[in-house]
Amino acid sequence: MTVATNMAGRGVDIMLGGNPEAQADELARKRLAGEGVDPDEDPEAYTEAFGAALEETQQSCKVEGDQVREAGGVYVCGTERHESRRIDDQLRGRSGRQGDPGASRFYLSLEDDLLRLFNASAVESIMERFNLPEDQPIEAKMVTKAVQRAQTQVESRNFERRKQVLKYDNVLNDQRQVIYQQRNTVLEGPDEEVGEIAEDFIEDAIRGHIDTYAPEGVLPEEWDLDELFTVLGRVYPVTVALEDLGPVRDLSREQLAETLLADAFDRYSAREEELGADVLRKVERRVILSVVDRNWRDHLYEMDHLRDGIGLRAVGQRDPLIEYQKEAFAAFNSMMSRIKEESTGYFFFLPVRVEQEEDEHGRTRRRALIGGRSTGDQQDAEPAERNLDYTSAESAGTGAAGGGSGVAASTGVTTAPRPVGVGGAPPSPRSLARATGQDPSSRGRASGQQTVRHDRKVGRNEPCPCGSGKKYKNCHG
């Protein structure tokens, strides 16, 4: 007899009388252990002992199996019914295997969750009306059919839930395929494809800012070109002046885009000549992978928060799935714009230092440290490798004042002091642009000028200095 609650016992065939092979193995090992023989080291002795034990266990299992069959076989006793009929059928199937006899019986309570979903109170009222005892079993086709209808409705409800979850997962899965396809190309693709992706990033980033500050359908006099050039200065070192564009009223969006794109790709070509094509490809790979991974993680967190609260849109008579698709699409486009803008800024403003050293045989060896990690040594036949690392402005200034051993020992291209990133991460393109003096918003400032506050900072929960009597955070905070 086996007593089951909420399990099916799948994958188990209950052999009446026992398993003769398993019993023979146990008996043979026990006998060899009594003789001091290890069955793993002496397989011949184990084979002989196993054969003799198998004959004994087969006879004993046959006798015990016949006794169980005469008693009626395996009897399955279930204490409740599962929400799925498939699980109940699997549990029933434990009895009567391989032509053996068997039976099954399930006992339910009117307080079970499955019965409470339906009109179990009607059965209870009948029991009270006829004054039946609580331990009186109720056997009727009406109850059996009611349980089957309950299981059918619960299965339908669970199926709709899984179907709805799959629809939400498909939205994120489509975005995941786009991200991973691009990421795999950057990770394993040839340098030509990586260069094409970087050029697409540059063009899309610039065109995105043009659409923001010089939108289509707006007169050229109403474009915010000053802010456009200020923002583009954080994306790449702009060499085109606003005066070079001519009269604004005669300017078109196509001319503006062509001029800025030509200027950006000229600077990109100069950057490639300065670093070398192979080193720039390594920089692009590392930059794109780092930026994509960071933004993709943030996007996944954002989608989790959106998924948790999107069901409330149904209160406003709006389909939560449609709203989720719209919000997810807008968030994905915003993430891709951030990826392209951040990556483009790193392409142009990431500090690079060229280092060359000679080994004991007089051969020139070049190291490439991208983000502080070495990519290996190369011989003279390879192009010059570069060190790409991040240091603080204070440490860079100290090194220069103390002889600049780290920079003076190197040869090739050097850059201005580099700002440090938070937690060891690369600094933002804006901070890199300011550090290199190429941010238009920082031009004209004194290099050592700092803002000094002479008044005490007001706490958020302190009274507002204006005298309103409110807290600072609720008034002018």
CATH number of 2-154: 3.40.50.300
- Write the CA distances from 94 to 10, 13, 287, 309, 435, integer angstroms: 8, 7, 59, 44, 75
Note the pLDDT of residue 430.
Answer: 52
Alpha-carbon gap, residue 466 to 468, rounded angstroms = 6
Domain ranges of the chain: 2-154, 163-348, 353-425
pLDDT band at 295 (very low <50, low <70, confident <90, very high): very high
CATH number of 163-348: 1.10.3060.10
Collapsing DSSP to helix, strand or coil, 73 comes out as: coil
Is the separation of the CB atoms in 318 and 310 below 8 Å? no
Which pair of structure tokens corresponds to residue 356? 């060359």
> Across residues 380-384, what is the average pLDDT?
34
Q: Which of 211-215, 434-438, 444-448 has the highest mean pLDDT?
A: 211-215
Question: In the block, which residue shows the tokens 């002795």?
Answer: 45
> Across residues 406-435, what is the average pLDDT?
41
Alpha-carbon gap, residue 49 to 227, rounded angstroms = 91
What does the pLDDT look like over 46-101, one tens digit per residue? 998 999 999 999 999 999 988 988 888 888 888 888 888 888 887 787 787 778 88
Question: In the block, which residue shows the tokens 């993430």?
Answer: 335
What does the pLDDT look like over 208-243, one tens digit per residue? 988 888 888 888 788 888 888 888 888 888 888 877
